[in-house]
Structure 1
Amino acid sequence: MGSPPSEPVTLAVIGCGQRGTSYAAYALDNPEICKVVTIADPLPKTRDIFTRNHKLDRTLVFNTWQELLNASAETIQTIGKRLADAVIVAVQDHMHYEVVLAFAAQGYHILCEKPMATSPRDCLDMEKVVKNAGVIFGMGHVLRYSPYSKALTEVVRSGHWKKESESSFSLMTKSCHDIDILCHWLSPATPTRVSSFGSLQHFRKEKKPIAAGTATRCLECPMEQDCPYSAKKIYLEPVSRGNTHWPANTIVDGIPDIENITEALCNGPYGQCVYESDNDVCDHQVVNIEYSSGATASFTMVAYTSLICERQTRLHFSYGEIVGDMSYFTVTDFRTGRKTTHHPKNEGGGFGGGDLGLIRTFVEAVRTGNQDLLGTNVSEVLKSYLTVFAAEASRREGRVVDCAELENAIRAELEV
């Protein structure tokens, strides 16, 4: 199952960008607990930096995940051993499905960055393959593992007030983190019905400020300094002040310095005017979820907000409420009028310590062979994603979606 206590858990990292690097940092800080032994990434500078930082054997550095998989197949055949105990899958979203299936088939324990997959059929198939392989499976829902969320979960599940709850979030990025944490807090109740509304309202060509003229890139725009969505403000100016971490390190191959960021904004997609891009995703969306317990949740995603990639939490119960902002939360007991504010310690790293919490828990789960340490499993993860797909179906089709009916319909399709 897991590695002996005296040996560090060995990791393969597929995708050495911002997410893969964040998880792998745990190995640099705790070499006695785990170490990265092999990687795959198509970007040469990113690959070389990662190789030097982790002091990897160059024969175990690959350009593609297929090359790593083939090398692993050879070692399994010749010496009966995989290249590593576990694999971190941090490639592009649409690749998660094929990479997870391939490495699960070889018996690797898997930590998959979110999302699980990009279609409900692929999510269902992934669940089946992972369960049949009998491997440890972790999902990159790092919100679950931050000190803030863990402390809030303890309060929610303390038995005080369990009749009806309602939650509301505000965020800019993808929503699977948030749907998952809602399902986690309201477990063991499961989603029964979902409705959703939203559209691409603001970031459209007809909403482009007149003063921007014909400019299609931020660095050539005459009103860049006055634009709240300037890529120069978001990516370049923080680097000039010494911040070479997120978000700058997500858009370049190699070191996120002024020269590389400028080049990326001049030639890459991140430097395009938000009103001129081919973006077709929602810039605002509301999701309403009813649970089997009778509880309801409301989640709001907003692109135009000062709270970039930040969340706000509001939970209402029969006898109290919890209000927080991912740094601290206040619990109010309606029966006594008492307010208690909690300040969970941020251990550093992304998502308020969630990155560190997840990789630390995953490595321990692999070491001990205990899926339960992760507090979830592939089937529970699947439920969260089916809820996300139900919300999108509701938004597109203008109807309330029954979660069980949706799942049954997808399973029926898979059997055809």
Structure 2
Amino acid sequence: MATRRSFLRRSGVAVATIGVAGCSSVFGGSENETTDTPTETGTETSWRNSESYIASIRRNIQGRPVVAGDLVYVVETHGDLYALDRESGSVEWRFEMDGTVQAPTVTGDVVYTGDYGPGATSNEIRESNGTAYAVDRHSGEAIWETDVSGMPLNTPVVRDDVVHYAALDDGVHTLATEDGAQNWSHTFDQGSLFITEPVVMDGALFATNRRGVFALDLAAQETYWTSDPIEYTNDPLATDSDWLYVAATTGVKALSFDTGDVEWTGESNGTPQDIAVADRVYTCTSNPSEVVAFDPAMGSKAWGESITGDPAGLLLDDGTLYVATYDYTFNTGRLHVLDTEEETLASEISFTVESEGELEMGSPPAVEDGLCYVGDAAGNVYAIDIDDESVHWQTTPHEATPTGDS
């Protein structure tokens, strides 16, 4: 069963050491590994570089659905962007692109996203430029598109009429929200970024890779601190007014905004997959699967709760914690609903999921008005009624005809 972290490793993401001969490339193996099918003697890296592998991950919905107004927006790992009716699941429109991993961003009437460029194999994708897009969220028509280097797979961050793209292979690109014009780009000397959403606040951008966390001064366009090397996972950063939180292999670490120094470490039995912050710092872990709450002052463990399945992510909403897990061995997805005040599991809702190819993943949850939205490895999207503990609707966007085309 693949976790978010193991998928990115299998794809070559975040395990590359830039400039060192013989290391795997970021989106696959070395350039001469182009086997089209896995063989008994072939390496896993050559399989990642094959057309079969890219085809097998095409429809996976790994990024968190985004709810805005009456629509839910989802993206496929190597496919397209869709807008679904929030109540019925019907596909309102489809925007064709070459795939992404993380969720889009919706600001006002615009959806911002990016893709990693065309290609049938990992090597071909690495050699192509990606594209940043602004899409009208109602019609699905492109407002602008801009070529950017380095595969902008991260969730874009919009601040002050600027959209920030943290590219996998080429640092940070800043574009004007109005027309997509490039303002400037910054490449980190320390190497490639993770496929994760950066944090932008107080004139700084924070991002991670395998070597640590970086703070970029947006006005000066330069890195002003780099944390000490720590074995970081490739999952979202989180913040409160005091600390910058990052998921490490052994737990959650709180870093100083000013220096990047580790202020405390909240240790967990498993590997954190996501972080949410309120009165406590929450994470969900794999191996073992568990939800853990830490005291934000010192990092001591406040409570923990075992869960079933492999967690893809969590969401904290009004004192309730939602954790989506997947178990493709038994074709089962689960939504765990935890009461953070009572520190207990309030309910566990099971639903049938499908697997397609090598990438057995699913999305973190999104919640709005009593419905929870998640996606699975075969490209299905589910709306789960939290009160009724049932599936409200299920749709397969790539098999549906958008209502505007019918």
TM-score by length of 2: 0.26
Q: Which has the larger radius of gyration?
A: 1
Greater strand proportion: 2
Q: Comparing both structures, which one devotes a greater share of its residues to helix?
A: 1
Which structure has more RCO (C-alpha within 8 Å, separation ≥ 6)? 1
